[in-house]
Amino acid sequence: MNIAQLPVVVVGCGVAGLATALAAAPRPVLLIGRQAVGQDCASALAQGGIAAAIGAGDSPAEHARDTLTAGAGHNHPDAVRYLVDHAVVAVRWLQTLGVEFDCDGEGLSLGREGGHHLHRILHAGGDASGAALVAALHRAARRAAHIQWQPACEVDGLLLRGERVAGVRVGDRDGQKNVLECSEVVLATGGIGALFAATTNPIGADGNGLALAMAAGAPAQDLEFMQFHPTALAVASCGALPLITEALRGAGAVLYDDSGARVMAGRHPLADLAPRDLVARQVWQVLQAGGHAWLDATTVPGDWQRRFPTVDAICKRHGIDPRTQRIPVTPAAHFHMGGIAVDFDGRTAIRGLYAVGEAACNGVHGANRLASNSLLEGLVFGRRLGRLLADVRLGACRSGSHWLVERGQSATESTLAQLRALSWQALGPVRDGATMQQALVHIDSDAALRTSWQGELVTRMLEAALRRRRNLGAHYRLDTAKQKAAQPIPLRLL
């Protein structure tokens, strides 16, 4: 095959992967996903929408200010500027693809979520925004002549030739493995929430792309920064916990403890809409003290079927009527601010290897992502990367020796369950040095944990969290907060 005809391989069919693939036209793109589209990506579960400075009195500068405040100033300011400056364009592009954003009498309806000082969140289908976006992008990608699909496959190896990525190894459900040549590889594989016992993420958000890039020698960045959503539904689960969207608090819902006291009273000027890390820690503390945390949404007005159909259905499935009953909630791993270190074009340190969306870290979210900035990030930086790839003339290197980098051995289900409990205990919303050290020793002393790529990834996160002694954003250590050695936090699973 002529080099120019080799495809760009995009791994991951969430918003970031689809946006990249669409923007890469006319380059041929091979889209590879572990599942059928929309079935195993966090994008499709997103209830919050897209933040864009569209409302009267709002501006990209205001949006940037809230993004930087939530990110504890750890954000890369140029990445933030690019994100907020391109938000409205991204929204208009989605409209051209057929996304119908929710409207009220005055035009586009704008909601509010934690950390935002203004109403600037667009929703589509109420709290089913992520699904609406993925469906529209999926339709467009199906129609695009330059995109081919390879679903139900897993990429577990990278072919390198002459210091450059030249292909991927793909395994199908029957265990059949093939090496496919390509010109560039984009990892849009999502985050790592599924490595925690309590998570809002689908099972596939297990850091597989991050682990692969690291195995190939691409540096990671900010691995210690994991965001916990304050309000997942507190039910026993061995998979994703259903999310109870922050937009409910934006519409007036309030967090209470068992005694009826407001969880966020006196904690922050924005109270229940304080940045997510603060709210998650307060809810965590209520649960650690042996109590329960409740979201009271009974005062939220309006048509729930239109505004919150997902939450309404989830609650009812669990025997709760959110219009008349309080909702039991727990923090849960939600979004990884860290990831494969990339520049604004998604370039990793390895030629021909790119990353975008939650799998990547270009510094835009800092130490704590602002609500509803992640679908936006996937769209804005995905389109930027796609346009770059459309133009790239380098192509794959066809000479020199080649070798295959393998991600490594996968943990068994029982080993994974152990690892998830360990991550939740040691790397949860409130951390301490002693517990993190113990977790490292535990992984190192258990061959099954130590030799799996998932165990290796959690080890890297623990090391990063131990190195960062100062509390910042979502990374909160009790031992450094109190300036004394804390007792390990007892494991308390749902």
> DSSP class of residue 199?
B
- For residue 381, the minimal CB distance to ligand SIN (Å) is 16
- For residue 228, the minimal CB distance to ligand SIN (Å) is 11
Residue nearest to ligand SIN (CB): 48
Residue 245: its H or E element: none
Q: Which residue has the tokens 């068992």?
A: 258
The smaller minimum CB distance to ligand SIN, of residues 138 and 365, is found at 365
- For residue 297, the minimal CB distance to ligand SIN (Å) is 13
The smaller minimum CB distance to ligand SIN, of residues 183 and 372, is found at 372
Residues that bind ligand SIN (CB under 6 A): 47-48, 245-247, 371-372, 374
- For residue 288, the minimal CB distance to ligand SIN (Å) is 22
Would you list the DSSP string of 68-88? Answer: HHHTTT-S-HHHHHHHHHTHH
The smaller minimum CB distance to ligand SIN, of residues 372 and 423, is found at 372
- Calpha distance 377→86 (Å, rounded): 10
Known catalytic residue: 470? no
- For residue 38, the minimal CB distance to ligand SIN (Å) is 17
- For residue 182, the minimal CB distance to ligand SIN (Å) is 32
Q: Catalytic residue, from 169, 276, 347, 369: name it.
A: 276
Q: Which residue has the tokens 């804005």?
A: 380
The smaller minimum CB distance to ligand SIN, of residues 48 and 202, is found at 48
Sign of dihedral through CA atoms 57, 58, 64, 67? positive
Residue 209: its H or E element: helix 208-215
CA distances from 300 to 238, 244, 308, 492 (A): 30, 13, 10, 31
The smaller minimum CB distance to ligand SIN, of residues 246 and 479, is found at 246
Cβ of 190: how many Cβ atoms within 10 Å?
34
Long-range contacts of range 65-70, CB-CB < 8 Å, 24 or more positions apart?
65/117, 66/115, 66/116, 66/117, 66/118, 66/370, 67/364, 67/365, 67/366, 67/370, 67/373, 68/366, 69/115, 69/275, 70/114, 70/115, 70/275, 70/276, 70/366, 70/368, 70/369, 70/370, 70/371, 70/473
The smaller minimum CB distance to ligand SIN, of residues 224 and 246, is found at 246
Q: Give residues with Cβ within 8 angstroms of 163, minimum separation 6.
A: 350, 351, 397
Q: Which residues are catalytic?
A: 276
